[in-house]
Amino acid sequence: MRGNFSPGGSKCHRPTLEVGILNPMSMLISIPGLLAAIMIHELAHGYMADALGDPTPRAAGRLSLNPLVHLDPIGTLMLIMFRFGWAKPVPINVMYFSDRRRGMLLTGLAGPMSNFIAAVIASYIFLQFRFLGATVATILYYFLMYNLWLGLFNLLPIPPLDGSHIAKSLAPYGSGLWHAMQQLDQYGWMLLILLLVFRIIPRVLFPVANAMQGWIFSLVSLVII
């Protein structure tokens, strides 16, 4: 992480985050934002499924504000080290949905969209309340960026990410895309780990996340008096 914060001044410099493993101090500071972003993402999945008539997330205890119940060990390690990773999937039974394809689409979109909304709210707080101090501002900035990273990463159409469920819900049953997603199910985890370890995903999505952060800051700045 580079750049500096000027919470009490008239200008607040945006740090930029680059591809690479975080140093131990940055890892420690980033943990609150990481846990909060994961909790928001998984709660959105759970509550959307619950609203559509699926009691499975509630019965499994996944409508919880405790971020620890949503953590996947490998996915969390990837998030800390490479800023892209995954949480423990919320159990969902599409048989409870009156329209299964629509239910899969909405529950798939709920997680990433909740992260993007959280990023907008965090941007407003970050820009509006500069008196919070450098440490709090840094934690808030990590929360903002982890929401962007988590949202973008989960839109990739690679199982078991949300993007794969969205793609399946949109693909005609029995189509080439539908069969491709079915075949990819058994190799998805391995493919994701390889793409993260060799930093292919970070190198592709980091510029997108940084661009989104800039756009959000620009839009939020328009409404701040």
Q: Mind listing the pLDDT tens digit for each residue in 57-66? A: 999 999 999 9
Q: Is the pLDDT of residue 122 over 50?
A: yes
Q: What is the CA radius of gyration of the chain?
A: 18
Domain-located, residue 4: no
Q: What is the pLDDT of residue 58?
A: 97
Cβ–Cβ under 8 Å, residues 215 and 116: no
What average pLDDT does this structure show over 65-90?
86
Both structure tokens of 110: 């709920």
Helices (H) and strands (E) in the chain, counts: 9, 0
Domain-located, residue 14: no
Q: What is the pLDDT of residue 21?
A: 56
Task: Select, from the ranges 14-23, 54-63, 130-139, 196-205, the one with the highest average predicted confidence (pLDDT).
Answer: 54-63
Q: Is the pLDDT of residue 2 over 70?
A: no
Q: Is the pLDDT of residue 181 over 80?
A: yes
Residues designated as active site: 42
Question: Among candidates 140, 136, 153, which has minimal Cα distance to 209?
Answer: 153
Domain-located, residue 13: no
- Give pLDDT tens digits for 91-119: 999 999 999 999 999 999 999 999 999 99
Domain residues for the domain of 188 are 24-223
Question: Among candidates 128, 142, 123, 37, which has minimal Cα distance to 85?
Answer: 37
Cβ–Cβ under 8 Å, residues 159 and 184: yes
Average per-residue pLDDT for the chain: 86
- Give pLDDT tens digits for 140-151: 999 999 999 999
Q: What is the pLDDT of residue 4?
A: 35
Greater pLDDT, 157 or 79: 157
What average pLDDT does this structure show over 150-173?
93
Total domain count for the chain? Answer: 1
* Neighbouring C-beta atoms of residue 98, cutoff 10 Å: 8
Q: What is the pLDDT of residue 208?
A: 96
Beta-carbon contacts of 13 under 8 Å, excluding residues fewer than 6 positions away, are 3, 4, 5, 6
Calculate the CA dihedral of residues 162, 165, 170, 172 and round it to 10 degrees. Answer: 160
Q: Residue 154 burial (CB < 10 Å; 0-12/13-18/19+)?
A: buried
Domain-located, residue 6: no
pTM equals 0.87
Q: What is the pLDDT of residue 114?
A: 98
Domain-located, residue 65: yes
Least confident segment among 5-14, 165-174, 209-218? 5-14
What distance separates the 2 farthest-apart alpha carbons in the chain? 59
What average pLDDT does this structure show over 7-32?
60
Query: CA 66 to CA 112: how far, in whole Å?
Result: 19
Q: Looking at the DSSP assignment, which residues form a beta bridge with residue 2? A: 16
Q: Is the pLDDT of residue 13 over 90?
A: no
The percent of residues in the chain predicted with pLDDT above 90, rounded, is 59
Beta-carbon contacts of 85 under 8 Å, excluding residues fewer than 6 positions away, are 72, 74, 75, 76, 77, 78, 79, 153, 196
Domain-located, residue 63: yes
Cβ–Cβ under 8 Å, residues 84 and 141: no
Q: Is the pLDDT of residue 178 over 60?
A: yes
